[in-house]
Chain A
């Protein structure tokens, strides 16, 4: 296609192409990098314009929906009035500037600190109770030799990952809700029914259990890939040296998983303040905000429900800035430990 639009001879066009496609004629046998360096900007644009054109739609969508809204965080410093106009931007231009007042109010708001507490508790619960399960399942499946058994187990365990949160919570409600299977069986045997779905005291365990049911099976996929890349020679050598089954797991398998585990831990810690927004929002009404409010639902409640956009945006901004700091810090730690982290140094 580029040839039809670039009015030059075939020979010239091919020569032009050497920048990214090393044609092994003697004259053009320079390295790729040196060659691109030599080409002028105009030539490179002419050569790569189809590629740039292809990249643009996605880049535009990201600019509009991921980058442009960053400017909207200005409302965090405003007494934003959504009723000035139907258009958010017009409202923003007409709202009063209040400086850091929203932030001062937030730091004095016990509901905010409750949300912080719930978020952190949930994060640690998920880290301790959820994180090891996929590793254990992956080790288990990896030790099964029969390919058909492995495939079936994987297919079944992956399945809930593709269910929506609405569906997962509906399923849990049918099992553990006031009219669910557990209550039904208890009542049939003369006990009182039990409604776990609306019990604030066990809510955080419920959320963790839902997460395990939905995503623990999916989590094994990364570990299985890492396990598949371990050379069988290592196991054989260890066995020759007298290492039994468990010692081989400890000295061969787990060290092989270490980079993956480190990477996932880094990702998890960087994302510590995000503990399942949709999942918790769906259950917020049933349990009440005392036990279920996390930072994300706090933002939603104040902004979308109470229309206090400045206040909610300020809370969201706090979360965003702290999260960014956590990601960068977690990567730093990973690098110090000698692991790769999310991005390279």
Chain B
């Protein structure tokens, strides 16, 4: 009883998330120079990431006049115009490529997640039949690669040239992702799954109704990993697609930004002087980075919970 009374009173309100938590008594107070130095380095590191993106976004929103005045890339915005985006999204090469990229990402991610979650759960029960062999088969792929040429010949022999399946199937399974999922599934309390089994639930039902709802964090993280993989991929498209009309956004970006080709069907707006070619390039880049930049902070809060607990158990 006395122990309860002796306890210090509970804190009245939770501290603001901006406030620093109490420093342990044994730790020295930091010097002003130390704090300033840390702040400076951290700010510079963040600026190194954000400043280039700022220039890209601002230039994509600038009119021809602003760009000419700035002599190229614009650092300080003067008026905002969406003409570059309007042109790019009014049908034509970039619109089509964007739709293709979105569809491949959606279908590919759904497929990869289904296969990976099933496999991770299937391997999450130590001592099940074939468990060790399957695991060995998976892990071994992390140590070797069959090589570019044999893989290329195989995909071609399967008749996947010019098919979007060639952009999904060869890279659909990431063993690393499966191991992370498996590590997380193995951490779920056995009592839960056991009681469900006693109530007559089979493995598919246990996975769907018990394991998956408990694993939202790790599922969100792995979904993001797969989605980013599909959205960013360009090499397999350059390898297996011959038809230029089928190219996803990244490949179109290579042509427009790196090879400096004018996008098909855009000549008119550039000729009339309303639109600078530079802002078209920037707009394509913004379209490629926007989904990723919007999604990743959402998922970031799950990183600690999902990714690490899973990865540590490997």
Residues on A facing B (Cβ under 8 Å): 1-4, 14, 17, 19-21, 23, 32-33, 36, 41, 44-45, 47-48, 50-55, 57-59, 61-73, 75, 87-89, 92, 137, 140-141, 143-149, 151-160, 162-167, 169-171, 173-175, 179-181, 184, 187-188, 213, 217, 221, 225, 232, 235-236, 239-240, 244-245, 277-278, 281-282, 286, 296, 299-300, 303-304, 309, 312-313, 316-317, 319-320, 323-324, 327-328, 342-343
Q: How far is the CA of A296 from the CA of B170 in the complex (A)?
A: 18
Closest to B231 in A: A164
Segment of B77-85, B90-98, B111-119, B268-276 in the binding face: B111-119
B166-225 contacts to A (CB < 8 Å): 169-173, 175, 178, 190, 193-194, 197-198, 200-205, 207, 224
A181 touches B73 (CB 8 A): yes
Decide: B121 and A236 in contact? CB cutoff 8 A.
no
Evaluate whether A1 and B42 lie within 8 angstroms (CB atoms) in the complex, with A21-B194, A160-B49, A313-B150 already known: no
> Are B292 and A162 in contact, CB atoms less than 8 angstroms apart?
yes
Given contacts A57-B118, A304-B239, contact A2 B203 (CB under 8 A): yes
Q: Is the beta-carbon distance between A167 and B285 smaller than 8 angstroms?
A: yes
Contacts of B52 in A (CB 8 A): 171, 174-175
Nearest A residue (CB) for B194: A21
Known: A47-B129, A213-B48. 4 other contacts (CB 8 A): A54-B203, A72-B151, A162-B296, A303-B149
Answer whether residue B102 sits at the interface, using C-beta atoms and an 8 A cutoff: no
B residues near A (Cβ < 8 Å) are 17-21, 23-24, 26-28, 38, 41-42, 45-46, 48-50, 52-53, 55-56, 71-73, 114-116, 118-119, 121-123, 125-131, 134, 137-139, 141-157, 169-173, 175, 178, 190, 193-194, 197-198, 200-205, 207, 224, 228, 231-235, 239, 250-251, 253-254, 257-258, 281-282, 285, 288-289, 292-293, 296-297, 300, 303-304, 307-308, 312
B232 contacts A164, CB within 8 Å? yes
Q: Is the CB of B157 within 8 A of A88?
A: yes
CB contact under 8 A between A169 and B258, given known A59-B119, A69-B147, A72-B150? yes
Instruction: Give CA–CA (A1, B201) in the complex, Å.
Output: 6
Q: Are B73 and A174 in contact (CB under 8 A)?
A: yes
Contact B204 A48, beta carbon cutoff 8 Å: no
Closest to A19 in B: B127
The contact of A245 among B28, B55, B308, by CB within 8 Å, is B28
Inter-subunit contact A171/B148 (CB<8 Å): no
